[in-house]
């Protein structure tokens, strides 16, 4: 059966999705250009035509995954409802107990970013955008009188640090923390940061 001819953009997206799958399955260090090519039944040369090195392919794959995550975050935070509802929806989605996928991918990325400047830039950019978006909605809620928070930027940092840490525990050490307990901790942390009672 002949392969359908894809546009350059469609081909790049196909390659990036395959790279993400291979990274999740094999890890960044072990994945090869040949693995991505084989998964799609294309040549190594085609992958290298679009991404001249493995490092560029990996950085582009993480950027692609990050853009997907950020688009979902923007959608959740852009809803026409209270800041508190938007925050809860975003935090529950992002939490390792929610529907966000790819925690294994991001844990891999953080580890490799220690030595790979291109990947460090990608993961740092996503981290900054995520924190800025959360801080902005916290500030909106404060301005609207929904809750109190003297430092939205610091609150966003503390919340995301908790979520990232729980993700490492739940992904790397299954069973170390029950998911229901992790969700309780996330809800309690959000309430603390916003000066809310447990019932609010």
Q: What is the pLDDT along the chain (200 residues), one digit of tens a residue?
A: 445 677 888 899 999 999 999 988 888 888 999 999 999 999 999 999 999 999 889 889 988 888 888 888 889 888 999 999 999 998 888 877 655 557 778 888 888 888 888 888 888 888 898 899 999 999 999 999 999 999 999 999 999 999 999 988 888 888 888 888 988 999 999 999 999 976 55
What confidence score (pLDDT) does residue 35 get? 94
Give the distance, in angstroms, between the CA of residue 190 and the centroid of all CA atoms in the same chain. 19
Exposure of 169 by Cβ count < 10 A (0-12 exposed, 13-18 middle, 19+ buried)? middle
**Collapsing DSSP states into helix, strand and coil, what is residue 84?**
helix
Concatenating the DSSP letter of every residue in 46-77 gives: HHHHHSSSHHHHHHHHHHHHHHHHHHHHHHHH
Return d(Cα 143, Cα 9) in angstroms, integer.
Answer: 42
């Amino acid at each position: 059966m002949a392969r359908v001819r894809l546009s350059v953009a469609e081909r790049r997206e196909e390659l990036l999705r395959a790279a993400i799958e291979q990274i999740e399955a094999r890890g960044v260090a072990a994945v090869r250009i040949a693995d991505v090519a084989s998964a799609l039944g294309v040549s190594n040369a085609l992958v290298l035509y679009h991404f001249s090195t493995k490092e560029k392919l990996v950085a582009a794959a993480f950027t692609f995954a990050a853009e997907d995550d950020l688009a979902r975050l923007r959608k959740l935070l852009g809803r026409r409802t209270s800041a508190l509802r938007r925050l809860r929806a975003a935090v529950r989605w992002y939490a390792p107990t929610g529907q966000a996928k790819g925690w294994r991918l991001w844990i891999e990325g953080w580890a490799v970013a220690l030595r790979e400047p291109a990947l460090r830039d990608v993961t740092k950019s996503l981290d900054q955008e995520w924190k800025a978006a959360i801080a902005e909605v916290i500030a909106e809620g404060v301005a609207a009188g929904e809750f109190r928070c003297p430092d939205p930027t610091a609150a966003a940092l503390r919340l995301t640090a908790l979520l990232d840490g729980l993700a490492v525990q739940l992904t790397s050490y299954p069973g170390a923390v029950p998911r229901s307990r992790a969700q309780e901790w996330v809800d309690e942390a959000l309430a603390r940061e916003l000066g809310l009672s447990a019932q609010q």
